[in-house]
Chains A and B, each alone.
Chain A
Amino acid sequence: MIRIEIPYHLRTLAKIDGEVELDVAAPITQRTVLDALEARYPMLRGTIRDHTTKERRAFLRYFACNQDVSLDAPDTPLPTAIALGAEPFLVVGAIAGG
């Protein structure tokens, strides 16, 4: 199972409490993980990635195993620890702004 953490407001929108656990078929990449997340929680479409371009929204970043992977290509394999469910894939909102 792939573990995903999303920001507070998206958890509220999707009525999620805590981490999300999803079955994602290989390869485990940003694209496949987020596709699975949006398939399971369609109201999150457009909130992490643009509806049309599927590009990451500017005020969000992706982290995996303490590394910022936001600028990696969406089809780059995520670390093994993510694929094994040992570490969560993090979607993090910019802190600035209030």
Chain B
Amino acid sequence: MSKVRVLVGTRKGAFILSSDGKRQKWDVSGPLFGGWEIYHMKGSSVDPNRIYASQSSSWFGQIIQRSDDGGKSWHQPGTPAGQPTTTPEGMPLAESNKFAYDTSSATGKPLTTHQWYDGTQHPWEFKRVWHLEPSLTDANTVYAGVEDAAIFRSADGGQNWQEMPGLRGHGTGPQWSPGAGGMGLHTILIVPGDPKRIYIAISAAGCFRTGDGGETWKPINRGLKSQYIPDPNAEVGHCVHRIALHPSRPSVLYMQKHWDVMRSDDAGDNWHEVSGNLPSDFGFPIEVNANEPETVYVVPITSDSLHYPPEGKLRVYRSKTGGNDWEPLTRGLPQENCYVNILRDAMSVDQLDSCGVYFGTTGGQVYVSPDGGDNWTSIVHDLPAVVSIEVQTLP
């Protein structure tokens, strides 16, 4: 029987939840990296035992961790190629934690500033890795979305990172500004079968697309409406919370934005609203059912000022028509006195025949629905605030 492994990043460490395909009884391991924010963990689809983790701290900065045995043991991978991976005393080196923006004239443009909250220009400063996206074709290649927004790539299993400067250097960079949570590149979608095509999303710059493996990028935000932007036709400046696609339809994108749920049928060239009958179209995560490309999930919260579910009822909303017509999913979810939030990277799906849907809350719960959202149970309910959820489906 297949198994699932749920990788949970929280404010105070990481947890790994494991079960068989029934998804009823769970083993819980953790906390790993106790006391640290684990912004994201994701496994390679090429080698499921290869998992990358972003370990972050406002005090101590960024640490990249890697496991080669499915999460049982971890190490910092960093060292320059050809050099020992540890000191003579066995201490790991720290090059894997170094994310230096490209300012060379040879491979990138010397971008030094972006827009700040007050409209002035502000220096580009690395803060943390928001999202790790392993390549679909090579276990040693992995992309990192960082704050302040940029995309980095490692081709040696996380040992060394180079910025892909074409994104910040394509021209609109100085106009990017941070959202309330910082200017993070939080979503990286690699198109299956076409690895040179990648979509990314940044709060609060918008969505961008490359068709040449990251050499050049294009903003894809036409059709997005954001009232706080003076120019209604602005190319960038939209606070995109999350984007998602189904592998069988890589040109169909779904977006949860700072207000509005949106859809594009042409790889992001044009967007239209599909919020429909949602009680609120403000939220963070959005996911697509692994087996049904037109089945989409969001978790509405009350507003941009009130980051908790409407009426104290935790409801996942599902559309089976690609948006516009949404139904509330409540069975097994608290329907009173619930004021948690689900952050943008804290929802995921597995690849089993009956698609499992998972999400983690800021209240420390991790919920699973093994039947596409009809019924929910909590796997754990007293973790630290959950920041991210990823699910591996294992043979």
Contacts and interface: CB of A to CB of B under 8 A. Distances in A.
Contacts of A10: 60
A9 B94 contact: no
Contact of A14 (B57, B62, B91): B91
Nearest to B92: A43
A9 B92 contact: no
B228 interface: no
Interface string B144-159: 0000000000000000
B58 A59 contact: yes
Contacts of A66: none
A41 B91 contact: yes
Contacts, number: 63
Interface residues of A, number: 26
Contact of B94 (A8, A46, A94, A97): A46
B66 to A, nearest CB: 13
Chain B's interface size range is 10 to 19
A42 interface: yes
B92 A97 contact: no
Interface string A16-55: 0000000000000000000000001111111110111000
Contacts of B93: 42-43, 45
Contacts of B98: 45-46, 51-52
A45 B59 contact: no
A43 B76 contact: yes
B97 A9 contact: no
B97 A51 contact: yes
A97 B58 contact: yes
A85 interface: no
A59 to B, nearest CB: 4
B91 A57 contact: no
B100 A51 contact: yes
Interface of B: 35-36, 57-63, 76, 87, 89, 91-94, 97-98, 100
Q: State the 6 A-B residue pairs at the shortest beta-carbon distance, nearest first.
A: A45-B94, A47-B60, A59-B59, A42-B93, A51-B98, A93-B59
11 contacts: A10-B60, A13-B60, A13-B63, A43-B93, A43-B97, A46-B98, A47-B63, A51-B61, A51-B97, A94-B59, A97-B59
